[in-house]
Structure 1
C-alpha cells in the first residue's frame, strides 16, 4: 500500500496514544512440590504417590474454582554413599511438581495453608494474572485509541483547524501483566513449607492489582490551517 504524503492542502499529524488501567486479577496460580525419600525405590515411589494423591484431592475439592491442574516434572533418583572402596545406593529421593490455576480466591488462603501442612510438601505462589481473553485488554486498546484521537485533535485545534480523516492506525503494542515492561508482580512470590505449620490458621492473601497498557500510533490528515 502506497503511503500518502503530506501536502499543504492535506497536512498530516501523527500521534501516539496510550491506554493504561488497573484491574483486579482473574487467576491465581500456585505450584506444589511433593517429596519422598526411602531406603529403596518402591518405598520412595509409594510414599510419593500417596502424598501426590493427597495434594490432587485437595486441589480437585475446589470444584469450579479450579481452572486447571497440571502435573509437571517427576523424578525418582538414587542417592549414593561411600562404603569401603566403592559407591553404594544409600537411599532414593522422589519429587513431583503440580501446578494449579484458580479462578475464585475465596478459599485460597485456606487451601495454601492445608497444602503446606502436608508432609514433605512445599507451596510456591500465588502468581496473580488475567485471563488471556480478559476484557481488560480490549478496554486498554479502546483507551489508547481515544487518547490518540484527543491528542491529534488538540494539535489541530492549536493550529486553528480540525481533523479531516484517519490515514493509519497501528498497534504499537499491548503490555500484559507479568512482562518486563509491566512489573506487576512486585516482590517475590511467597513460599510455604510443611515444617512447623501444624494447625495454623488460614493465610490472608490479598490479590494484587494488575496493570495493562496498550499503545497505538495514529496518522490523520488535517484541513489546511490559516497560518
Structure 2
C-alpha cells in the first residue's frame, strides 16, 4: 500500500458571551378617532424616545432607530353580525442596541409598565470585529481537526505523511445531509419576569453565542 486517499471532516465551535443586545419596543394606541389616536401614540412615544436618547448620550446605548408612524383602521363586527364604527390603531416601533446587559434590564423595567408600551424581541450578538475574528479562529481549528483526523487514519494504515489535496465547506466535496452554514452565529435571549411581589421588573439573561465551522478535506496518505 503506497498511497491512499483519505477524506475527512473537521468541526470546531466556540461559545462566547454576547457583547451587544438589540431590543425592539412598540408603542401602540387605539380609539374611535384617527386624530386623537395619532396624538396619543405620539405622546406615549415621546418619553420612551427620551429615555433612549439619554442613554445614547451617556454611552450605554450604542445606536437606536424609530420607525414612521403606522395607522390603520378596522370595522369590527358585533355579536349580531352588524358592522360597527371604525376603530383606529396607531403604532411606532423603536429599536435600541445596548452595550450592557444590566442596563438593558433596568431600562425595560422602567418602560414596560408605561401605557401603550409593548416589549418585543431581543437579539444578542457580538461586535462585527469580534464575530469576524472568531469565525477565522474557529475555521482554522476545524481545519486542524481535519488534518489530525487524516493523520490518525494514515498512521492506522501504517502510512506516514498526509498531503492535502482538497478542502471545502461542508457539502461541497461530497453530498451530505443539510447542516447549519459554517461560521453561523446562533444567539438566543430569554426574558424572565421577576418573582418579586412588586411586579414589573424584568431580567434579561443572554445565552452564549455559538460560532461553529465544519470543513471537509481530502488528503493523500503515503
Shared fold (TM-score greater than 0.5)?
yes
What does 1:62-141 align with in structure 2 at a 5 Å threshold?
A: 62-63=55-56, 64-72=59-67, 74-80=69-75, 89=85, 91-133=87-129, 134=131, 135-141=133-139
Distance 1:201 1:97 in 2: 21
Distance 2:165 2:30 in 1: 67
Distance of aligned partners of 1:22 and 1:100 in 2 relative to their CA distance in 1, 3 Å threshold: same
Quick check: 206-215 or 159-168, which moved more?
159-168
How far 1:101 moved relative to its partner?
Answer: 2.4
How far 1:118 moved relative to its partner?
Answer: 1.9
TM-score (norm. length: structure 1): 0.75
Quick check: 101-110 or 61-70, which moved more?
61-70
Distance of aligned partners of 1:87 and 1:191 in 2 relative to their CA distance in 1, 3 Å threshold: farther
Deviations 1:4-45 (A, max 9, x none): xxxx64422111000112111122121111012344222211
SS of the residue aligned with 1:61? helix
What does 1:20-99 align with in structure 2 at a 5 Å threshold?
A: 20-63=13-56, 64-72=59-67, 74-80=69-75, 89=85, 91-99=87-95
Kindly tell me the number of residue pairs found equivalent between the two proteins. 202
Match of 1:185 in 2: 188
Distance 2:199 2:151 in 1: 59
How far 1:127 moved relative to its partner?
Answer: 2.9
Match of 1:212 in 2: 211
Quick check: 212-221 or 33-42, which moved more?
33-42
Going by fraction, where is helix more abundant, 1 or 2? 2
How far 1:88 moved relative to its partner?
Answer: 6.3
Deviations 1:140-182 (A, max 9, x none): 212211111111111111122223421111122415234xxxx
How far 1:59 moved relative to its partner?
Answer: 1.7
SS of the residue aligned with 2:202? coil
How far 1:202 moved relative to its partner?
Answer: 4.5
SS of the residue aligned with 1:106? helix
Q: Contact 1:44 / 1:93 at 8 angstroms: preserved in 2?
A: yes
Q: Contact 1:144 / 1:216 at 8 angstroms: preserved in 2?
A: yes
How far 1:217 moved relative to its partner?
Answer: 0.7
Q: Contact 1:109 / 1:205 at 8 angstroms: preserved in 2?
A: yes
Q: Structure 1: which 5+ residue stretches go unaligned?
A: 1-7, 179-183, 193-198
Match of 1:149 in 2: 147
